[in-house]
């Protein structure tokens, strides 16, 4: 049975699609987009999040009532709890009662035992509004948002699943699962590779007698490989010393004049006789790294 059909059968009285609502947290430049109903399956990228929503739908009770906590937070779900956060509703606020180790690692902080309202930032206020909306109709929500809380990831997607403790709904919970949409490292790598400027990144070797010559080459983008005549699937240099030897002995670039230093950057001019052009190399130290910019 298609996912959307499962949702429609559970909530036959609902319209088939709900447009996304955007909640702007203007002070931080963040935006939370929210979907509900069958449209979730059309926008949710993560197969894992879809599977969690399907489990919620299958565990639902008659009349579309939300599942019991024990049905989605029991032994059979133990393998998934490392990815989950569980919030207990406290009036119009929420208390983090569980946070999986994967979530702790990805967000870089522990929320267990903390009220949502006490978490700094405008994002917390926005989440609180949307979570309360999910509690009012006891229906799942799907979110896409940007956060500065996680150092590695830029955007996230999240499924929000309402649960109850018993028939009388003595306590009500939200079970959250989140997956990253964008990895900062992937974005930077893609930008690095597609740059029209040749770029080479090296890490400086720690040691009293180590020099820039000993720095290890980490990355060479496509433009730099083309300028240096390197094959795409191999890196013939491993240190800055190797790089200089490649420039002088393989490419046979000739140094023009004396190197110049300005604002902490070293600028060296080369003549590429084969290509009948000049190449400017800008060497820039950035923390523990050194970046070579090749301009022609």
Q: Where in the chain is the domain with CATH 3.30.450.20?
A: 3-182
pLDDT at residue 16, as a whole number: 47
Question: For the domain bounded by 3-182, which CATH number is listed?
Answer: 3.30.450.20
Taking only the tens place, the pLDDT of each residue in 173-203 is 999 999 888 777 777 788 888 889 999 998 8
CA 159/CA 12 separation, integer angstroms:
21
In the DSSP assignment, the letter for residue 262 is E
pLDDT in tens, 203-218: 876 555 567 788 888 8
Residue environment code for 51-79, b if the CB has 16+ CB neighbours within 10 A, otherwise e: ebbebbbebbeeebebbbbebbbeeebee
The CA-based angle 117-120-126, given to 5 degrees, is: 60
Within 10 Å of residue 152's Cβ, how many Cβ atoms?
14
Checking phi first, is residue 171 left (phi over 0); if not, alpha (psi -120 to 50) or beta?
Answer: beta
Does residue 140 register a pLDDT over 70?
Answer: yes
E strands, the chain, are 21-25, 30-35, 84-90, 93-99, 141-146, 155-164, 172-180, 198-203, 216-220, 254-262, 265-272, 277-286, 289-295
User: What is the architecture, at CATH level 2, of domain 186-295?
Assistant: 2-Layer Sandwich (3.30)
Query: Is pTM beyond 0.75 here?
Result: no
* 3-class DSSP assignment, residue 152: coil
User: Please, what is the average pLDDT of the chain?
Assistant: 84
């Amino acid at each position: 049975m298609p996912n959307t059909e499962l949702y429609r059968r559970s909530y036959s009285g609902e319209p088939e699609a709900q447009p996304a609502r955007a909640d702007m947290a203007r002070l931080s430049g963040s935006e939370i987009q929210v979907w509900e109903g069958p449209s979730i399956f059309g926008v949710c990228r993560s197969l894992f999040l879809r599977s969690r929503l399907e489990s919620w739908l299958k565990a639902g009770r008659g009349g579309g009532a939300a599942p019991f906590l024990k049905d989605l937070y029991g032994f059979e779900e133990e393998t998934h709890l490392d990815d989950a956060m569980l919030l207990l509703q406290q009036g119009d606020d929420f208390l983090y009662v569980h946070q999986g180790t994967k979530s702790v690692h990805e967000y870089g902080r522990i929320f267990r035992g903390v009220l949502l309202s006490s978490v700094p930032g405008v994002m917390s206020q926005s989440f609180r509004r949307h979570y309360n909306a999910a509690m009012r109709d006891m229906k799942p929500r799907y979110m896409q948002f940007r956060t500065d809380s996680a150092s590695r990831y830029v955007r996230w997607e999240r499924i929000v699943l309402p649960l109850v403790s018993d028939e009388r709904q003595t306590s009500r919970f939200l079970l959250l699962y989140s997956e990253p949409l964008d990895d900062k490292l992937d974005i930077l790598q893609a930008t690095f590779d597609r740059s029209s400027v040749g770029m080479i990144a090296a890490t400086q070797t720690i040691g009293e007698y180590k020099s820039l010559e000993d720095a290890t080459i980490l990355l060479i983008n496509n433009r730099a490989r083309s300028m240096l005549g390197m094959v795409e699937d191999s890196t013939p240099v491993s240190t800055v010393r190797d790089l200089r030897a490649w420039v002088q002995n393989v490419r046979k670039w000739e140094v023009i004049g004396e190197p110049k230093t300005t604002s902490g950057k070293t600028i060296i001019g080369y003549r590429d006789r084969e290509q009948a052009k000049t190449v400017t190399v800008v060497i820039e130290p950035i923390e523990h790294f050194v970046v070579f910019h090749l301009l022609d």
